[in-house]
Structure 1
Amino acid sequence: MRLTPTLKAAAAVAVLLAATACGSSGTGSSASTGLNPPDLKAQSKLGKTEGQVNLVAWAGYVEDGSNDPEVDWVGDFEKQTGCQVNSKVAASSDEMVKLMKTGQYDAVSASGDASLRLIASGDAAPVNTALVPNYKNVFSGLKKGAWNSVKGQMYGIPHGRGANLLMYNTQKVAPAPTSWSAVFDDAPANKGHVTAYDSPIYIADAALYLKSARPELKIKDPYALDQKQFDAAVDLLKKQNANVGEYWSDYLKEISAFKSGDSVVGTTWQVIANLAAGEGAKVKAVVPEEGSTGWSDTWMVSAEAKHPNCAYKWMDWIISPKVNAQVAEYFGEAPANSEACRYTSDKSFCDTFHATDEGYWKNIAFWNTPIEQCLDGRTDVKCVPYAKWVQAWTEIKG
């Protein structure tokens, strides 16, 4: 694999706190339940472009050549559409939500721990996918997901996807782990050298493990936890804390920790595994037998967008085959457009990131926003909302 583009992307996103907190439970076939957003209408047709578009995005998603003269997919967009791109990089999903509430931005590359908040509050408008020609080539597993749609109505255009994997040092962790028990129940074997993702959404990783480790809890969806289920996940993470050497959010630091041996087992992304191996670390990353959590970012249009036509033009552009291939390779994720793999500079890129393997993604529970109305369809209990996940995460870390 050619590592140079991704190494540049790594430098660009070194400050990210929650670079891609996304998704839902399962794949795109299950739209979110229990959510009744404001009755907003999707745009019915495209009008004259407004001359500019204001975007909120993760670092590496809106590149105009200012970070690297060789990385620019904004310039051609501006020439072809007449829409000047103004972008602001957000360091977290919480920051994205706050920025979108100002009404100053037209679109956002929302992650799953932000998307339902934007939908429920009426800050994000339904999207008319017929106005986005390239949407027809988006992988089916990314359409009408629990993180980007409600009752069959899309609220955004999928951008890309990735899985949260179990990475381990092949020389120091034996036998090779096949279960998340390696970072939970069996974590004491590597006390002080376990690493975990530093975000409240990581509680879902514990819930995913408990789904099979403790079937009596009856967890169906790691983002739909009643109080008993939530307490069990929090307790597990508090126990794990005693074995964690470092929580990571900056993936350059995780690479360094695995190279030095400070970390020998923990959660990771495919791009991190590739970069770490490329820099000499003896690591391997797998989807454990329980499956994994993951992300799928979605471009969403503000309900108060002042430049909606340029926003729609941008959404179609960013998932067009050649551009989507550029973004995916630069950032380190599987592209959303099924035609993008023809245009990656590294011809093995899509195989490495499982871009076309829908069977692979069926084992990935994409990040979603926990809300009181249980996303698994239960109506006889209330689920623990994301605000309480944030509070619990502070307690977990001590």
Structure 2
Amino acid sequence: MHFTSGCNHPSFTLPWRTLLPYLVALHLLQLGSAQLTVVAPSLRVTANVGQDVVLRCHLCPCKDAWRLDIRWIQQRSSGFVHHYQDGEDLEQMEEYKGRTELLRDGLSDGNLDLRITAVSSSDSGSYSCAVQDGDAYAEAVVNLEVSDPFSQIVHPWKVALAVIVTLLVGSFVIIAFLYRKKAAQSRELMDQAAALERKDAELVELDEISGLSAESLKQLASKLNENADEVEHCNLDLKKDCEEMRSGVADLKKLARELEENSTVIWTWDVMLKVLAAKLGHKAKELEKQHLQFYRHFQHMYSSAGKQKELVTKLEEHCEQMERRNAKLEAAAVKLGHKAKESEKQKSELKERHEEMAEQTEAVVVETEE
């Protein structure tokens, strides 16, 4: 059986030559589909506690992302903040449930923006935006910083309130200590009075039983007088303590009035702070809208700049072609000028010859007439 092979055989050369462009095009398409890039802003995204924030990133070049696998990952815990695949939202971390939303309006343009509502200080950190399209994989990092402006402000009214509270607590502790001391002293006096009454009863019984002498009675009377003096001295001490307590109560009333006045001032400050917080939130939303507009305008300018660069390259190529054509035309014009000069010389020579022939013919005519 005869079998011919080789590159020169007609049954082999024609199919390979026709299939080669298709194979090269298929290889280039595979390379183009494998090149996938995610672009994120280099600036840190900042927000206050309780605000809504949007983490932005996009595909470059822009392509439809509806059928891609999109994952927003918190780098600190490596957990899924939001997982999107084939038009559905999949599992995510417990603390982000109900607080995240992938903005699907921009998926057709290649935007992978994620909104997080009611951010807190624990949301601060780095987030990775990962995209997978078949074998192609790309990711970018977005940094978020959440701050609490009110926790960093030390208000004077807070300091005054702390001082007043410490004074009140100290005064209450002192009053309680004095009250316990006075109660103990009153108990001691009552015990002494009861002891004296018992002694008086015993003395009366002794007088009735044994009939004591006048001298013993005088001694008992002097002892009783001494005990009475001690009781009066204790009563004076109690009166002084009561007056001190009354002055302490007056001071407490003054402090209470000052607290009421400060509470009204604090309430006005709280209202002013709430108004300022509302204004700051409104301004933050306006700034976010302006940032979004600037970002879209930048994208539009970037795409238009690319088109303009392509037009400039085409114009430069066209100018180069025109210059080459002008050079050829100039060379042809120079050749034509040389040819024109040669033709003028030939014309002048022919004219001279024509004049010579005319003179010769005239001479011949004259000779023939003669």
Q: TM-score range by the shorter chain?
A: under 0.3
- Whichever of the two has the greater Rg, that structure is 2
Q: Where is the helix percentage greater, Structure 1 or Structure 2?
A: 2
Question: Under a length normalisation based on structure 1, what TM-score does the superposition of the two structures give?
Answer: 0.17
Kindly indicate whether structure 1 or structure 2 has the higher relative contact order, using CA contacts under 8 Å at least 6 residues apart: 1
Question: Under a length normalisation based on structure 2, what TM-score does the superposition of the two structures give?
Answer: 0.18
